[in-house]
Chains A and B, each alone.
Chain A
Amino acid sequence: MIDITKRFPGVVANQGVNFAVQGGEIHGLLGENGAGKTTLMNILCGLYRPDQGQIQLQGRPVQFHRPADAIAAGIGMVHQHFQLVERFTVAENLVLGERKQLWRDNPKRLHQRLRQLASRYGLDLDPAMPVWQLSVGQQQRVEILKALYRQARVLILDEPTAVLTPQETQGLIATLQQLAAQGTSIIFISHKLNEVLAVCDRITVLRDGQTMGTVAAADCDTHRLAEMMVGREVDFTRPERASRDRPEPRLRLEAVSVQGHHQRPALDAISLTVHSGEIVGIAGVDGNGQRELEEVIVGLRPPNQGTIHSQGTLAHIPSDRYTMGLIGAFSVTENLLLRDYRYPPFQRRGMLRPKVMAQQAMTLVNDYLVRTPSVQTPSRQLSGGNAQKVVIARELSRQPQVILAAQPTRGLDVGAIDYVHAQLMAQRDAGAAILLISTELDEILRLCDRIAVLYEGQIVGWANAATANVNHLGLMMAGKHPPETLSIPMAHDR
């Protein structure tokens, strides 16, 4: 891709970007949110057309007018959110959208053919299995196989490890290395620096829509990459915490159970206590009851059994900021005042006071470093990081005693993650009791005092963050019980 420029109204998403991938190479594409990674890849997939610049495939210029053109040219993309029909089998998902034959293949022959294809690339899959019975890691393999089935020679993976356990990630990396060895070019989009360094041969960094350079992974380390990405040095160490006063219990769950689909409990007798001045982490792979735990604590869903005690103002940083945290059509001001609009000084004699509301919004936007064209801008126009800052500003500015932070840094870049972590630690030091639900093990290890692992709606083990072993946590997250980590340290033990 040569000298690619793409403008949207008000933004230049890509400006003179150069990006080259060689055959059989794993190429990392790294950049902050809004740096233009997705735009660049959408151009490569034929979803957008560049305003300027050229795409060359094996030295020949090509033009993609629609996604089908890119697929025909051998470019396959594995999206972050899988594009699979859950009710269909693996095989049916693979042949979906094919037009060439009038009748469908004999399933037996099709399965045979697909099994051969899968084993050629070392992907262990049963073509006859319906997709909904597969684990997330297996579904991702279906997506990869789908691209290979369409004869992709360039495979793009958007944040492929976000939904995987450490063990599944290892499996994915092995698969990718085997594919590359057989000549497939792989573009690996990620914000996890360690992973990019471990997997990729070369890495291209984007910042503010421009190429910051391409480096060989062998000559690079996380600090240098982070610097290229955000333009400054980033601290990765586990921050020391201020000593705290006598902790008191603020949030207590006692044997809370929630009914899920298919008669299976989504939460099964969860008991935990969060004290003032501590962060308790809930680790686990997505879909093991995190959403239900979050909803039951904030009262969006009644527990079928058990009780929840919460003391003082509860702040909620929701796991899905777009459906639970922000109203896209509402302005930044309206979103910031979604809880307080009805109280003076924002309301007087039954009427809202837009000027006072806008002033308060401006104060919060400044305090919480939200980058927005104005406070009247609809929040759907904000980038992910700035949208999250709006949620955080609204929730944390109310001086909460209890904070429920669910996936607070999902989809954010290094700079914004740092910011969110600093905010949470400041609240902890100010005495708030924080429950952090996160699928990012790094985040849990960095912030939390105690860690519980959630698997299929149960807490399968506790660990002390200072002494936790990543492998053991990973095994627990996959539902295996390493017996030595089953001890339950109390908050007062340390």
Chain B
Amino acid sequence: MTADPSPLAPTSLSPRLKALAPALGVLIALFLSSIVIALSGVNPLEAYQTFMAGAFGGSRQITETLLKATPILIIALGLTIAFQARVWNIGAEGQYHIGALLAGTVALVQPDLPAPIMMLAMVLAGLGGGLLWSLIAGLLQLKRGVNLIIGTLMLNYIGILLVQYVARVPLRDPNGFLPETARFAATAQLPRLFGTRLHIGVLLALLLVPLTYLLLWRTPLGFRLRAVGNGPTVARSVGIWPHRHRLIALLISGSLAGLAGMIEISYTYLRLRPNISDGYGFTGILVALLGQLSPIGTLIAAVLFSALVVGAQALNVTLQVPVAVAGVLQALLVLGVLAGNAIAKR
């Protein structure tokens, strides 16, 4: 008798309507946003046109969208692995900052390393920084019973402030006016791709999409991570240890967040300073969930989310729509898609 679907599921929606639910969600979100945009004195249709053109209107815009998507995608792929194991790592933002901090320190302390070794050292420092930061939260949970959500969340603030401190005090550029370090040497800059503004990190992020899929669905480790996430009691009774595998999932996601931090400072910022993240660690959580914990879904969600950010900037610059209004548009769109998905799934 257990094969019956949940008795509380409504049965009145037709399948066709269900398939259209996400699109309907977007339409409702656009409609509600139109009201807000109109209230700020701008024609909504013109606003949407500007928005689209700003995100996808030409190669410059597309490049910008892809660059913005890269750190989000790398973080979200790591979180996909963590969330598949039902490890609620909310600390990607902090792991990102510590990854950036260690990689930046390498670049500043050893500026004379030859380019390939510099890159390798920075990548390892980035991965290691993220791993270390997530390990602290993992150990706090395993040894002291600190809830992982709380532990990772609190470590975010410490990570962000630690970067600010290092940029303001020990590594501050003595010749600069701003509270930031000196600019990295050219060897600490990510190589660009074929003369475009895209860098090698974009390629790496795209490569991580199939790699994440292979890890989760084609390796014994991924099998165990998913088993622990989907049925911890069953996993334990067939000899898969939940604690160990939850820690592994946490460390993988932490390392990838650290890698994203390394990529951002060795391309966009080229120095350590306050505000080296646009909330990527938090956006990554949303993107992993919007992508329904599938690597391909995460890729799509990361690009769309990045387009939302880039398009909103265009809206602000071109039509002087307040940034807050663009934020409302983003939030409404996410809610619309999520609500639509929830209906489509029933």
Interface set of A (CB-CB < 8 Å, partner B)? 8, 11, 13, 33-34, 37-39, 42, 47-49, 298, 300, 316, 318, 322-330, 334, 338-339, 341-342, 347, 350-352, 354, 381-384, 387, 411
B116 interfacial by beta-carbon distance below 8 Å: no
Cβ of B236: which chain A residues have Cβ within 8 Å of it?
300
Q: How far is the CB of B197 from chain A (nearest CB, A)?
A: 36
A327 touches B230 (CB 8 A): yes
- Evaluate contact between B219 and A327: CB separation under 8 angstroms: no
Contact A351 B4, beta carbon cutoff 8 Å? no
Contact indicator per residue, chain B 203-239, by CB within 8 Å of chain A (1) or not (0): 0000000000010011110010011001101111111
Tell me whether A327 and B223 are in contact (CB under 8 A).
no
- Residues 172 to 220 of chain B near chain A (Cβ within 8 Å): 214, 217-220
From B5-13, B93-101, B245-253, B268-276, the one touching the partner chain is B5-13
Q: Tell me if A384 and B2 are in contact (CB < 8 A).
A: yes
Q: Is the CB of B237 within 8 A of A328?
A: no
Q: Which residues of A contact B231 (CB under 8 A)?
A: 323, 326-330
CA distance A49 to B236 in the complex (A): 40
Please pick, from B4, B226, B227, the residue contacting A42 in the complex, using a CB distance under 8 A: B4
**Sampled A-B contacts (18; CB under 8 Å):** A13-B4, A38-B1, A42-B4, A316-B237, A323-B231, A324-B233, A325-B237, A327-B231, A334-B223, A334-B227, A338-B234, A341-B220, A341-B223, A347-B220, A351-B219, A382-B3, A384-B1, A384-B2
Count how many chain B residues have C-beta atoms less than 8 Å from C-beta atoms of the other chain: 26
A189 to chain B, nearest CB (A): 9
Write the nearest CB–CB distance from A32 to chain B, whole angstroms: 10
The distance from the CB of B205 to the nearest CB of chain A, in whole angstroms, is: 23
Interface residues in chain B, defined as those with a beta carbon under 8 Å from any beta carbon in chain A:
1-5, 7-8, 11-12, 214, 217-220, 223, 226-227, 230-231, 233-239
Q: Which residues of A contact B238 (CB under 8 A)?
A: 338-339
Question: Shortest 9 CB-CB distances between A and B: which pairs?
Answer: A327-B231, A38-B1, A47-B7, A329-B230, A383-B3, A342-B220, A327-B230, A338-B238, A384-B2
Q: List the A side residues contacting B5 at CB < 8 Å.
A: 8
Q: How far is the CA of A298 from the CA of B237 in the complex (A)?
A: 7
Closest to B5 in A: A8
Tell me if B234 and A323 are in contact (CB < 8 A): yes
Question: Which of chain B's residues have a CB closer than 8 A to the CB of A322?
Answer: 2
Complex Cα–Cα for A326 and B2 (A): 13
Q: How far is the CB of B84 from chain A (nearest CB, A)?
A: 10
Nearest CB to that of B8 among chain A residues?
A47
A39 to chain B, nearest CB (A): 6
Q: A298-B237, A352-B219 are in contact. Are A338 and B7 (CB under 8 A)?
A: no
Cβ of A48 and Cβ of B219 under 8 Å apart? no
Chain A residues closer than 8 Å to B2, beta-carbon distance: 322, 383-384, 387, 411
- Chain B residue numbers with a CB within 8 Å of A347 are 220
Q: Given the known A-B contacts A300-B237, A318-B237, are A34 and B1 also in contact in the complex, defined by CB atoms under 8 Å?
A: yes
- B3, B4, B231 — most chain A CB neighbours (10 Å): B3
Known: A33-B1, A37-B1. A327 touches B237 (CB 8 A): no
Residue numbers in B under 8 Å from A37 (CB-CB): 1
User: Contacts A323-B234, A330-B226, A338-B227 given: A39-B219 contact, CB under 8 Å?
Assistant: no
